[in-house]
Structure 1
Amino acid sequence: MNILFDIGHPAHVHLFKNFISFLKERKHNVYVVSRKKDVTEVLLDYYEIDYFSLSEPRKNKLGMLKELRSRNKQIFKLHQKYKFDVSFGTSVSIGFLNRKYGVPAYNLNEDDDSVVKYYTYLSYPRATKIINPDCIRYQKWKKKRVLYPSYHEFAYLHPNNFHPDLAIVKEYGLEPYKYIIIRMSGLIAHHDSGMQGLGEELLAKIKNLVEQKQGYRIIESHELKKQYQIKPWDLHNVLAFSRMIISDSQTMTIEGAVLGVPSIRINTFIDKSTVIEELEKKYLLAYGFYPTETEPIIATVQKLLNNENLTSIWTEKKKNLLVDKIDMNKWMIDYFVDEIEK
Structure 2
Amino acid sequence: MPTENSERLLVAIQHPAHVHFYRHAIRELEDDHEISIVVRDSEVATDLLDAYGFEYEVIGRSGSGLRLIASQALYEAKMLRRAREFQPDVMSAIGGSAVAHVARAVGAKSVVFTDTEHATLTNRLMAPFADEIWTPECFHADFGDKQVRYPGYHELAYLHPDRFTPDESIRNDVGLEEDDRYVVLRLVSWEASHDAGAGGIDDVGDVVDRLEATGATVLITAEGDLPARVRDRQVDIEPHRMHDLLAGATLFVGEGATMAAESAVLGTPAVYVNTLRMGYTDELEARYGLLYNCQGAFRHRMAIQTAESILSGEEGRDWADARARLLEEKVDTTTVIHNALTGNGFD
Shift of 1:177: 5.9
Q: Choose from 58, 65, 87 the match for 2:63.
A: 58
Q: Deviations over 1:126-150 (max 9, x none)?
A: 11100100111123x3110111100
Contact 1:180–1:218 at 8 Å: present in 2 too? yes
- SS of the equivalent of 1:31 reads strand
Q: CA deviation at 1:337?
A: 4.0
C-alpha spacing 1:338/1:35, structure 2 compared with 1 (3 Å):
closer
Displacement, 1:225?
Answer: 3.3
Name the amino acid aligned to 1:79: A
TM-score, normalised via structure 2 length: 0.89
What residue number does 1:254 align with? 261
Percent of residue pairs bearing the same amino acid type: 27
Match in the other structure for 1:212:
213
State the Cα distance separating 1:31 from its structure 2 match: 0.8
Q: Distance in 1 between matches of 2:267 and 2:180?
A: 12
Match of 2:229 in 1: none
C-alpha separation between the residues in 1 aligned to 2:212 and 2:269? 19
Q: Distance in 2 between matches of 1:228 and 1:27?
A: 40
Root mean square deviation, CA, Å: 1.9
Cα distance in 1 for residues equivalent to 2:79 and 2:299 = 45
Query: Are 1:32 and 2:32 matched, yes or no?
Result: no
Q: Structure 1 residue 234 and structure 2 residue 238: aligned?
A: no
Is the 1:177–1:242 Cα contact (8 Å) retained in structure 2? no
Out of 294, 298, 315, the position equivalent to 1:292 is 298
Equivalenced residues, count:
329
Give 1:232 deviation, angstroms.
0.7
The whole-number CA distance in structure 2 between the counterparts of 1:177 and 1:326 is 32
Contact 1:9 / 1:38 at 8 angstroms: preserved in 2? Answer: no
In the other structure, the counterpart of 1:183 is 186
Residue 338 of structure 1 and its aligned partner are, at CA, apart by: 5.0
Distance 1:116 1:309 in 2: 33
Q: Is the contact made by 2:59 and 2:75 (CA closer than 8 Å) also made in structure 1? A: yes
Give the TM-score, by structure 1 length: 0.91
> Separation in 2 of the partners of 1:283 and 1:111?
20
The 5 Å alignment of 1:93-172 reads: 93-112=98-117, 115-139=118-142, 141-172=143-174
3-state DSSP class of the match of 1:126? coil
**1:68-83 correspondence to structure 2 within 5 Å:** 68-83=72-87
| Conserved 8 A contact 2:250-2:269 | yes
Of 306, 310, 313, 1:307 maps to 313
Q: Secondary structure at the match of 2:115?
A: coil
5+ residue gaps, structure 2, are 1-6, 227-233
